[in-house]
Structure 1
Amino acid sequence: MAVDAVIFDIGNVLIEWQPERYYDGTIGPERRAALFEAIDLHAMNDRIDAGGDFQQTVYDTADANPQWRAEIRDWHDRWIEMARPAIPHSIELLKALRSKGVPVFALSNFGIGSFAFAETQYPFLKEFDRRYISGHMGVIKPEAAIFEQVEADCGLRPDTLLFTDDREDNVAAARARGWQTHLFRGAEGFADRLVEEGLLSAREAVLPRGPAAADLAVPAA
């Protein structure tokens, strides 16, 4: 089946998203494990991704757990240190697809405030033909409604959409809608898939070496 648009997740596809790694570096693995056992920070983040106010949601959670107040506030105050670095090869694939005239969309669980800030750090986030950001949509992956909204807005048949995401549940939900899917386990594997689909040549799918490649590594702070 022909592909009429390629849809990228953002976290761990275009930008590394590793809160645990951040906390391991700031408070150590043992305290990080205790923090995440005591408080479901990813559930807190889901509320932000569904449209909750970024700072208020984090600060309210911090105030409700005073023994971890400073650490939880970091989720807002030092968020960009959890959402870095960019993944250069994935960015190059995005740019290569656009240069070939292939429509490229973003579909990501991302808060309104956190995404607005991410745009200031990662200019390539403005390069999509369409952007579907869960905070603005009021629903998060893998709920079926978010995929339905994408279909209704873009007007393309589900079986002509090629979607890549690093989470198996999100990929399964898209596949259930009839989308073509790719479970992201690294940019090289997705590059191979784009070549297989005839969207890029093998040459176009390879990350450039030298200064050009360095230009793709957008600073995260």
Structure 2
Amino acid sequence: MSVDAVIFDIGNVLIEWRPERHFDAVIGAERRRALFSEVDLHEMNDRIDHGHDFRETVEATAARHPGWATEIRMWHDDWLRLAGPEIPHSVRLLRALRDSGVPVFALSNFGIGTFALAEPEYPFLTEFDRRFISGHMGLAKPDAEIYAALEDECGLPPDRLLFVDDRADNIAAAEARGWQTHLFTTPEGWAGRLVADGLLPAERAA
């Protein structure tokens, strides 16, 4: 089936997103496990991704858990070490698609403040034809409304959109709307899909 636009998730597709890895390196795996067991930092991040203020949300969480306040504030102060590095092969695929004239969009759960930090650190984030960033929209995957908002703005038929994401729930929500999808596990697998769909020649996908 033909594709009119390719839609990239960002975290764990273009940029590694493994907060636990950073905390393991800084405070040790045992203490990190205790922290993440007692404080739902991913739920905190979900609120940031929905548009809540980055610093205020982290500080409010730290205030509710004073025994972990220093570690919780690392989510804000060390954020660029939580998010990264980039995944070079995926970035090359993004650029190859654009060079080939294929429109590329971003659809990502990302906070307003966190995206403002990431953009200068990862210049390819400015290279999308359109960006749909959850914090700015007040919507987040896998809620159907964020997919509908993208469809309304781009005006393309859902079955001509190809969406890559690393989370099965986000993929399932896109498939429910009739999108073509690829569950990202490796950049090589994603490259193979783009070649198989005729969007890139093999030499451009390497």
* TM-score interval, normalised by the smaller of the two chains: over 0.9
Matches within 5 A, 1:20-169: 20-169=20-169
Counterpart of 2:177 in structure 1 is 177
| Equivalent position amino acid for 2:33 in 1 | A
Counterpart of 2:193 in structure 1 is 193
Superposed CA deviations along residues 81-135 of structure 1, whole A, max 9, x for unmatched, are: 0101000000000000000000000000000010011001000000000000000
Higher strand share: 2
| Equivalent position amino acid for 1:197 in 2 | D
Name the SS for the 1:204 alignment partner.
Answer: helix
* CA distance, structure 2, for counterparts of residue 116 and residue 84 of structure 1: 15
* CA distance, structure 2, for counterparts of residue 81 and residue 59 of structure 1: 19
Provide structure 1 residue ranges, at least 5 long, that are not aligned to the other structure.
207-221
CA displacement at 1:174 relative to structure 2: 0.4
Question: Structure 1 vs Structure 2: percent identity of aligned residues?
Answer: 67
* CA distance, structure 1, for counterparts of residue 54 and residue 178 of structure 2: 33
Name the SS for the 1:6 alignment partner.
Answer: strand
Counterpart of 1:3 in structure 2 is 3
Higher helix share: 2
Superposed CA deviations along residues 21-75 of structure 1, whole A, max 9, x for unmatched, are: 0111011111111001101100000000000000100011011100000100000
- Give the length in aligned residue pairs: 206
The TM-score with structure 1 as length reference comes to 0.93
Name the SS for the 2:83 alignment partner.
Answer: coil
* CA distance, structure 1, for counterparts of residue 185 and residue 43 of structure 2: 24
| Equivalent position amino acid for 1:145 in 2 | E
| Equivalent position amino acid for 2:170 in 1 | N
Provide structure 2 residue ranges, at least 5 long, that are not aligned to the other structure.
none
The TM-score with structure 2 as length reference comes to 0.99
CA RMSD of aligned residues (A): 0.4
